Structure 1
Amino acid sequence: MSTRQNSRPTTGGSVKPLVSGTVIPLVTALDAQGRPDAEAVEPLLAYLAEGGVTSLLLAGTNGEGPLLPGDGVRRYATEVTARWRALVGEAATVMVAATGPGTRETRQRLEALDGVDLDAVVVLAPFYFKHTERELLAHFQAAAALDRPVVVYNSPAYTGNPVPVSLVRRLLDEPGIVGLKDNSGDTAQFGQFCELARKRPGFGVAQGIERQLDVALRLGAAGTVPGVGMLAPALCVDLFRAGSSGDDATATALQQDVNRLAALFAIRPGASGVVIMKTALHLLGLCPATAAEPFLPCTDDELAALRTALDGLSDVLRRA
């Protein structure tokens, strides 16, 4: 597989983790038949680049990765990566998530990405069955054995298998594992993750819970992964810059605007937010609204509520 170096040097000889900065968990644009369509996401890519974004995560939760076939993810990743690198240049970073119910399917999805010009892959814990820590360790070790940089993705609400601090401590001994994206929502545990990360240069921890971005940066997060960054990329980039530089007051103020955007997901309570996000992007002229089955389009009431909400967020959206 073509995989770039798992970290890049920064000034002063330090090592910059791959999950640094504002990483956007990009949607997968689908055509009317539900097939990934890289050309259709170009307006959104341009919008993100204008907002100062340089890093993308493909085929994650927002990218509907678990619902898409591996060959479809490969084609989309290949085309989007080429477009993103042409648009952003040397600063561009692209990661792709691989999600399977077990290690075998996860490895198959990783192997399907062979030859794609990626900086890293993002690997979730297996799902459906509950697994021991030893089994989770073996799962991530198997992914790292494919000789490409791996970012571990802790999303217990979806997998049912949380990644505990004790496991991360053991994963630090795996040179192929270069970071952690945490969606647990546990701020105390997140702080422990960041403390562990300081012990290994080049290993970074990123916060995926949008309402906790400013707190995560105060705790030492290397990066943030906000889905609402697709709606207001400059806002999320500014929040990261403020929080990572120690300007807590500005970061906290910007967090309030991020929270306003995140409130959009309440329009369809209990869902992952995929349909609301894609429909909002469509209303902004950035991406088709089509989502993978079994997702259903917005109802008339949901669409009306979303239009009203976006009108009320015009001041935030203008930041991008």
Structure 2
Amino acid sequence: MATDIDRSDHPVAGMIIPLVTALDPRGRPDPPAVRPLLAHLADAGVTTLMLAGTNGEGPLLTAGAVRTYAAEVSVMWRELVGASARIMVAATGTGTGETLERMERLDGLDLDAVVVLAPTYFRHTESELHAHFRAAARHGRPVVVYNSPGYTGNPIPVSVMRRLLDEPGIVGLKDSSGDAALFAEFCALTGERPGFQVAQGVERQLADGLRAGAAGLVPGVGMLAPAVCVDLLKAGRHGDHATAAALQHDVDRLAALFGVRPGASGVVVIKTALHLLGLCPPHAAAPFLPLTEAELAGLRAALARIHDLVRPHDPQPI
């Protein structure tokens, strides 16, 4: 179901949902189990999915598992949404070699772009970061650079992104740095090369990101209340910043759920919340652990506080 927010075929334009990876109790991808969530998103007017990112637990899954999931989910999504459907998959490797291997495992899939993070573990120079993304850009698919220094430890400076504008394969940037000034500088780069666009990946800065020039938004909590996030995007796109700011307050209320278990274990929180709403299984990849009884009680209480934003489709016991 396309909406007026989806006027561009660009991979990072519009509302982008960083989809969870539905897993069975043994930690294996279970694509059919995500079907209720896909229908929930499509009904709200979402057209673009990003698979195997942070919310998708991509770094914890094998390249084969990511391919299996992406292959089946992309077919389901295109059947649901039709010609306006767009799919991106993250290829996350410790270094350039592993990143390219993960990209190769996606060959043959009907994707609109591959999302590539900076290398992890070691700290790298600007020249090394440039070489890493340049190699990915020349693999043959459109590449969206993903700046997530909190996870990679390697922030991507504006100077590197400006050099990467010379690579036709680099089509966009998702920024999750949380640095508003840096984000504005990234958005300014869109005027230096046609076809290059930027998406805001920080949930608490969606409205500000649109004001700075973001083409797209990537909120994980959009899985819980996609209509809220879609309405925020519409308001910002139409210059109704007062409405966008009010809806940002609702998004902030949704993001407060992550306080149940702060940190990367927010993956477990959102999966459990989605399960309680009847949208997908709660299982997460090892070494993630299920919520404790105390955490689960806290999550139920937190969901009750935002009952006006999220509605159970088929409430599940847990």
Task: Compute the TM-score of the two structures, normalised by the length of structure 2.
Answer: 0.95
RMSD: 1.4
On the 8 A contact 1:234/1:319 being kept in 2, the answer is: no
How many Å separate the matches in 2 of 1:16 and 1:119?
9
How many Å separate the matches in 1 of 2:305 and 2:155?
37
Q: Which residue of 1 aligns with 2:236?
A: 243
On the 8 A contact 2:112/2:142 being kept in 1, the answer is: yes
Q: Which residue of 1 aligns with 2:143?
A: 150
2:181 aligns with one of 183, 188, 194: 188
Q: Percent identity?
A: 69
Q: Which residue of 1 aligns with 2:297?
A: 304
On the 8 A contact 2:23/2:283 being kept in 1, the answer is: yes
Q: For residues 42-121 of structure 1, what are the structure 2 equivalents within 5 Å?
A: 42-121=35-114
How many Å separate the matches in 1 of 2:263 and 2:11?
31
CA shift, 1:68, in A, is 0.2
How many Å separate the matches in 1 of 2:241 and 2:33?
37
1:293 aligns with one of 258, 274, 286: 286
The code of the aligned residue for 1:271 comes to: A
Secondary structure in structure 1 of the residue aligned to 2:45? coil
Residues 216-258 of structure 1, C-alpha deviation per residue, up to 9 Å, x if partnerless?
Answer: 0000000000000000001101101111211100000000000
Residues 50-82 of structure 1, C-alpha deviation per residue, up to 9 Å, x if partnerless?
Answer: 011000000000000000000010010000000
1:160 aligns with one of 153, 165, 170: 153
How many Å separate the matches in 2 of 1:282 and 1:319?
9
On the 8 A contact 1:235/1:319 being kept in 2, the answer is: no
Residues 109-152 of structure 1, C-alpha deviation per residue, up to 9 Å, x if partnerless?
Answer: 00000101100000000000000011001100111111110000
On the 8 A contact 2:277/2:312 being kept in 1, the answer is: no
How many Å separate the matches in 2 of 1:210 and 1:272?
16
How many Å separate the matches in 2 of 1:56 and 1:313?
24
The code of the aligned residue for 1:210 comes to: E
The answer for unaligned runs of 5 or more in structure 2 is 1-5, 314-318
CA shift, 1:319, in A, is 11
How many Å separate the matches in 2 of 1:270 and 1:31?
23
Divergent runs of 4+, >3 A: none
Distance 1:93-1:16 versus aligned 2 partners, 3 A rule:
closer
The answer for unaligned runs of 5 or more in structure 1 is 1-9
CA shift, 1:269, in A, is 1.9
CA shift, 1:154, in A, is 0.2
CA shift, 1:287, in A, is 0.4
How many Å separate the matches in 2 of 1:38 and 1:17?
25
On the 8 A contact 2:278/2:312 being kept in 1, the answer is: no
1:123 aligns with 2:136: no
Residues 259-310 of structure 1, C-alpha deviation per residue, up to 9 Å, x if partnerless?
Answer: 0000000111233410000000000000000000000000000000101111
CA shift, 1:45, in A, is 0.2
How many Å separate the matches in 2 of 1:236 and 1:116?
28
CA shift, 1:17, in A, is 2.9
On the 8 A contact 2:276/2:312 being kept in 1, the answer is: no
The code of the aligned residue for 1:19 comes to: V
CA shift, 1:316, in A, is 1.2
Moved more, 213-222 or 304-313: 304-313
Secondary structure in structure 2 of the residue aligned to 1:57? strand
